[in-house]
Amino acid sequence: MRNFNFFERVSRAYNDHPTLFRLVALSTIAISGGSIVYAEANIGSGGRAVVDPTKKKKVVVLGTGWAGMSFLKNLNNPSYEVEVVSPRNYFAFTPLLPSVTCGTVEGRSIVEPIRNIIGKKKYDARYWEAECYKIDPVEKKVYCRTAAELDGKKEFSVDYDYLVIAMGARVNTFNTPGVEENCHFLKEVEEAQNIRKNLIDSFEKASLPNLSEEDRKRILHFVVVGGGPTGVEFAAQLHDFVNDDLVKLYPKVKDHVKITLLEATDHILNMFDKRITAFAEGKFQRDGIDVKLGSMVVKVTDKEISTKARSNGETFSMPYGLCLWSTGIGPRPVIKEFMQQIGQGNRRALATDEWLRVEGYNNIYALGDCATINQRKVMEDISAIFSKADKDKSGTLTVKEFKEVIADICERYPQVELYLKKKQMRDIVDLLKEVKGDAAKETIEVSIEEFKSALSQVDSQMKNLPATAQVANQQGAYLAKCFNRTEECEQNPEGPIRFRGEGRHRFHPFRYRHLGQFAPLGGEQTAAQLPGDLVSIGHSSQWLWYSVYASKQVSWRTRALVVSDWFRRFIFGRDSSRI
């Protein structure tokens, strides 16, 4: 081999790995700026594996949100060809949307082009910028529509062997009149940017001459409907934006600003620990954010919001300037139509089994906010479980027989484990003991009736997963891993026993691992609910939050952009140009 001198080496390194090289340049800065940025770079990839193209199965992915992105990022099996259909050619890191509304972070810093993600993968992938408006599970086709007319038409269809539905959901207005027309939503980057422009505009409008005090107050009354994490974070960010930056630029109108948070239930952040809820309500009170609990919005006009108190049915009207509606989600029209088509018309989201397959369709998967896992009940399968466990067909189950299937039962029916945990029992045999009394364990034998009675309460522990980015992300990764190991698991199934069939399931069912949740409360205070009932409130969790969010960005690019946006804000404050 030749001897390289330093410059030759550097130049070779640069030509072979330009991105890596630039990253080194970057990390010098990132590290000196605080070492929040870490790990998980996924540089380059190089050659695609050679697979006979005629044998390749086509996977069509609908959507480029959390679930879709996570699936595409984790898929690694060159025996599939992938087509992605989505009206958004990028993935957006949605937890930072409330930060975009106040200009703490740039809209474009939290997005990553989907072509950057799929361009580096080993499988063949194509992306179509279009919206799917119809799914035909019989013909195995999806019908798509582009924004622009091409060759005189806007529609085209795509065939699939496997379909992955990850289209997310839309905001649920509960058919409240006037919401669509007058309220802002916060699900897309464009919506966040639009809220920011409208915010600044409110301050400009309220500063105009020849305006009554009443009108000034109305324009600067910001209302948030829905006390979930998005609504709470928006209210907190808005409060900071107003107090840190806007009061300096609009000194004459600052006293007119009012922020109101309307929540229909008895508490804000009610999916969080009670300590967090209490802290958040207290902090908002100290900050002067008016939290109105138990008030349901019944009507919105261009200048007024009407609410009804849940306690006594009293109605109340308040003038407002800008309203963010973030109360929950509902199915998109195309999903709704598909649900009707496959007999799920009365559900709120697409029902899947524990392997994320849409019920009744082995080749259609649904994940993220548009889907919900319909966990099978123990009581539905109780006879099948009993007869599968009763190996000697004696009509009774011995403890030994039972122990052999315990692991499979717990895997197939996770509610069993939750129930045991709730009852503080060590294992499932304790359940039987409860029925049979305190006889010596090993000699217990139970009949089918006793078995049923022992497990009768178990299904009460079934819970739907929350519609969060975390769930969607884990589901996408889970499904990609299944696709990656199809051939392998076909031969050596790794899932639990099929109680109602023969053999074993190919894959382990999807299991959600809750990694904690943040609720930024403004003023550099964040509440964090961590796994295992840990609760952290204050500055420390603010930094934890920053570092987790920075590390969770899909690419090194977005990571660096988000961190540098925080840095910019720290130095210069938030910008107030209406752009």
Q: Does 156 participate in binding a copy of itself (rule CB under 8 A)?
A: yes
Q: Are 554 and 69 a contacting pair, CB within 8 Å?
A: yes
Among 20, 51, 56, 113, the residue binding a copy of itself under the rule CB under 8 A is: 113
Smallest gap from Cβ 11 to a copy of itself, in A, equals: 17
Neighbours of 368 (CB within 10 A): 30
Which pair of structure tokens corresponds to residue 352? 């899947």
b or e along 488-498 (b: 16 or more beta carbons within 10 Å of the residue's beta carbon)?
ebeeebebbbe
Q: Which helix (H) or strand (E) holds 125?
A: strand 124-129
Among 81, 124, 136, 204, the residue binding a copy of itself under the rule CB under 8 A is: 204
Q: Does 17 participate in binding a copy of itself (rule CB under 8 A)?
A: no
From 111-119, 305-313, 411-419, 521-529, give the range in contact with a copy of itself by CB under 8 A.
111-119
Smallest gap from Cβ 182 to a copy of itself, in A, equals: 13
The SS3 assignment for 413 reads: coil
Smallest gap from Cβ 228 to a copy of itself, in A, equals: 25
Contacts for 487 with CB less than 8 Å, ≥ 6 apart: 79
Contacts for 77 with CB less than 8 Å, ≥ 6 apart: 122, 123, 483, 484, 486
Among 341, 387, 396, 564, the residue binding a copy of itself under the rule CB under 8 A is: 564
Smallest gap from Cβ 140 to a copy of itself, in A, equals: 16
b or e along 83-108 (b: 16 or more beta carbons within 10 Å of the residue's beta carbon)?
bbbbbbebbbbbbbbbbbbbbbbbbe
Nearer to a copy of itself, 322 or 489 (CB): 322
β-pair type (295-300, 304-309): antiparallel
Among 81, 124, 136, 201, the residue binding a copy of itself under the rule CB under 8 A is: 201
**Residue bearing tokens 């022992």:** 454
Q: Which x/- pattern over 205-224 shows residues binding a copy of itself (rule: CB under 8 A)?
A: x-xxxxxx--x---x-----
How distant, in Å, are the alpha carbons of 12, 26, 30, 559 from that of 37?
Answer: 27, 11, 7, 7
How many amino acids of this chain bind a copy of itself (CB under 8 A)? 62
Q: Does 476 participate in binding a copy of itself (rule CB under 8 A)?
A: no
Smallest gap from Cβ 38 to a copy of itself, in A, equals: 17
The region that residue 573 occupies, defined by phi over 0 for left and psi between -120 and 50 for alpha, beta otherwise, is left
Among 62, 102, 135, 200, the residue binding a copy of itself under the rule CB under 8 A is: 200
From 35-43, 126-134, 470-478, 532-540, give the range in contact with a copy of itself by CB under 8 A.
126-134
Helix locations, 39-102, DSSP H = 66-74, 97-101
Q: Does 147 participate in binding a copy of itself (rule CB under 8 A)?
A: yes
How distant, in Å, are the alpha carbons of 44, 203, 218, 391 from that of 248?
Answer: 47, 12, 20, 78
Smallest gap from Cβ 576 to a copy of itself, in A, equals: 5
The SS3 assignment for 122 reads: coil
Smallest gap from Cβ 262 to a copy of itself, in A, equals: 24
Specify the DSSP class assigned to residue 504. Answer: B
Among 36, 37, 132, 158, the residue binding a copy of itself under the rule CB under 8 A is: 158
Helical axes 556-572 vs 539-552, angle rounded to 10°? 140
Which pair of structure tokens corresponds to residue 575? 């910008």
Q: Does 554 participate in binding a copy of itself (rule CB under 8 A)?
A: no
Q: Which x/- pattern over 391-420 shows residues binding a copy of itself (rule: CB under 8 A)?
A: ------------------------------
Among 73, 88, 184, 332, the residue binding a copy of itself under the rule CB under 8 A is: 88
Nearer to a copy of itself, 157 or 464 (CB): 157
Q: Which helix (H) or strand (E) holds 389?
A: helix 382-389
Nearer to a copy of itself, 158 or 179 (CB): 158
Which pair of structure tokens corresponds to residue 44? 């380059």
Contacts for 327 with CB less than 8 Å, ≥ 6 apart: 171, 172, 173, 174, 225, 226, 228, 231, 264
Q: Does 33 participate in binding a copy of itself (rule CB under 8 A)?
A: yes
Among 60, 72, 169, 189, the residue binding a copy of itself under the rule CB under 8 A is: 189
Q: Does 180 participate in binding a copy of itself (rule CB under 8 A)?
A: no
From 22-30, 293-301, 441-449, 514-522, give the range in contact with a copy of itself by CB under 8 A.
22-30
Q: Which helix (H) or strand (E) holds 166?
A: none
Smallest gap from Cβ 107 to a copy of itself, in A, equals: 6
Q: Does 579 participate in binding a copy of itself (rule CB under 8 A)?
A: yes
Residues 93, 94, 96: CA angle, nearest 5 degrees: 85
b or e along 110-125 (b: 16 or more beta carbons within 10 Å of the residue's beta carbon)?
bbbbbeebbebbbbbb
Neighbours of 140 (CB within 10 A): 18
Among 13, 17, 20, 26, the residue binding a copy of itself under the rule CB under 8 A is: 26
Contacts for 447 with CB less than 8 Å, ≥ 6 apart: 395, 396
Interacting residues with a copy of itself between 241 and 280 (CB under 8 A): 248-250
Q: Does 182 participate in binding a copy of itself (rule CB under 8 A)?
A: no
Q: Does 67 participate in binding a copy of itself (rule CB under 8 A)?
A: no
Q: Does 538 participate in binding a copy of itself (rule CB under 8 A)?
A: no
Paired with 537 in beta bridges are 527
Nearer to a copy of itself, 336 or 559 (CB): 559
In terms of residues, how long is the chain? 579
Q: Are 412 and 384 a contacting pair, CB within 8 Å?
A: no
Q: Which helix (H) or strand (E) holds 412?
A: helix 399-412
Smallest gap from Cβ 48 to a copy of itself, in A, equals: 13
Nearer to a copy of itself, 366 or 554 (CB): 554
* Alpha-carbon gap, residue 373 to 370, rounded angstroms: 10
Nearer to a copy of itself, 215 or 417 (CB): 215
Among 66, 80, 127, 545, the residue binding a copy of itself under the rule CB under 8 A is: 127
Q: Which amino acid is at 332?
A: R
From 123-131, 161-169, 309-317, 400-408, give the range in contact with a copy of itself by CB under 8 A.
123-131
Summarize as ranges the residues that interact with a copy of itself (CB under 8 A): 22-23, 25-26, 29, 33, 88-90, 103, 106-108, 111-113, 115-116, 119, 126-130, 146-148, 150-151, 156, 158, 189-190, 200-201, 204-205, 207-212, 215, 219, 248-250, 556-557, 560-561, 564, 568, 570-572, 575-579
